[in-house]
Amino acid sequence: MNKAMIILNPSSGKEKALDYSNRIEEVLRRKGYEVARKETAQALDATRFCQAACREGCDLVVSVGGDGTLNETINGIMDQDHRPKLGIVPLGTVNDFARALRIPLDPEEAILALSSSNVRTVDLGQLNGRLFSNVVAAGSLAESVASVSSEEKSRLGALAYLKEGIKELLGSPAHPIVVEHDGEIWEGDSPLVLAALTNSVGGFEKLSPNASVDDGLIHGFIIRDMNVFDTIAAGLSLWFGSLKEKKDVVYFTAKKIRITSPKPLRTNVDGDEGPALPVELSILPGYLQVIVPEEG
């Protein structure tokens, strides 16, 4: 019998994750899986659970939570001889990776999609020896977003990020940053550098419209002046995918990126606080198989 492990964050989905667990088990058992369930209680629990699933030869691991839970889960497959397929029930604030894969954001629909026979092979990124699935941000704005508490995320959802972003835009200057990508170097002042693997960043599903989960590239955006966000036209560019065309935005694609700064700046990785600069990023093509909804 095939084996599946459910890894769920009980505080996600406005603390409704446990309400969905029985339904998930029912769907998986109907598909012929022997199911184990693990609940996270502290940082890196999801990574440890996924590592155990790999060692035990599980065929499927299901991440039930937000982008942070997903990030911890995928890090459990790193350097493992056996890598299970991944299922996702998105219960987080933004759920960028699920958006990029067209996995339903409605939990009940996402649970039903776990019975799909459709599997997509996707890229992952590596940052200073850890994996990420969606986006790395560096700069003063990234630090502000990382300060959003789990309570604010649960209470306000995406508005929590918007609130902190507005506070940062009103008060913080750009900092000196050096971005090296595939042999090229950009150096200057910037409040925000984004390195995205998918088209969806911060819930904006067309911020990086040329990015695909399996194109083998990191899509980079260097914001040179936050005044780019001061106009209605610039705001619309986030929705319609034309941000890279703005004069104060440098857009590039790369397979390897190094970001440094003389200032003690931190990063935000898949929606949670990441390591301080300097950081090195690389792409891992076709690293993971994900269950996605049936086509048509």
> How many Cα atoms sit within 13 Å of 179 on the Cβ side?
25
pTM of the entire predicted model: 0.86
| CATH number of the domain where residue 80 is located | 3.40.50.10330
Same domain, 252 and 176: yes
How many domains does the structure of the chain reveal? 2
Q: Are residues 168 and 269 in the same domain?
A: yes
What backbone phi and psi angles, to 5 degrees, belong to 192?
Answer: -160, 130
Query: Do 110 and 250 belong together in one domain?
Result: no
Strand order, beta sheet including 192-196:
249-254, 218-223, 192-196, 135-138, 266-269, 272-276
- Cβ atoms 196, 207 nearer than 8 A: yes
Considering the domain architecture, whether residues 156 and 75 belong to the same structural domain is answered as: no
Instruction: State the CB neighbour count (10 A cutoff) for residue 184.
Output: 9
Based on the domain organization, do 181 and 62 belong to the same domain?
A: no
Beta strands in the chain (DSSP E): 2-8, 33-39, 60-65, 85-90, 119-127, 130-132, 135-138, 175-181, 184-190, 192-196, 218-223, 249-254, 256-260, 266-269, 272-276, 279-291
Tell me the pLDDT tens digit for each residue of 142-190: 666 555 555 555 444 444 444 445 455 445 568 999 999 999 999 999 8
The amino acid occupying position 94 is V
Tell whether 173 and 233 lie within a shared domain.
Answer: yes
Q: Is the dihedral of CA 160, 41, 85, 82 positive or negative?
A: positive
**174 located within any domain:** yes
Residue 99's closest CA among 209, 256, 228, 255? 209
Round the average pLDDT of the chain to a whole number and report it.
85
Q: Specify if 125 maps to a domain.
A: no
Q: Residue 10 belongs to what domain range?
A: 2-115
- Co-location of 186 and 237 in the same domain: yes
DSSP-assigned beta bridge partners for residue 88: 63
More confident residue, 295 or 30: 30
Could you read off the pLDDT of 219-235 as tens digits, one per residue? 999 988 666 555 444 44
Residues 190 and 277 in one domain: yes
